[in-house]
A = this chain, B = another copy of it.
């Protein structure tokens, strides 16, 4: 699963948002998002496959956290769009200036 597909699903975005607060055991995530335990477990697996989160074992618990750089591909894809819009705004500014 690509990061693009991973963030398409609201429940996965909710999990990621939650993990911004810091590392959390799977159980806390289940409590936070209103979803069944197996459902959360499945989404966590997909998020791991997408490289957006990582896991470590702590006894019987599994601690999940955001993977730094997991959204790098997404950021990289977005970059030229930011440039595109910046150019458009510049062009608009120029246009408005010429009209004055």
Contact = CB atoms under 8 A, between A and B. Distances in A.
Number of this chain's copies in the assembly equals 2
A78 interface: yes
Interface stretch (A1-9, A26-34, A39-47): A1-9
Contacts of A81: 16, 20, 66, 71
A90 to B, nearest CB: 12
A58 interface: no
A47 to B, nearest CB: 13
A94 interface: no
Could you tell me the dominant secondary structure of chain A's interface residues?
Answer: helix
Q: Categorize the interface residue count of chain A.
A: 20 to 34
A66 B88 CA distance: 11
Interface in A5-23: 5, 7-8, 13, 16-17, 20
Interface of A: 2, 4-5, 7-8, 13, 16-17, 20, 66, 68-69, 71, 74-75, 77-78, 80-82, 84-85, 88-89
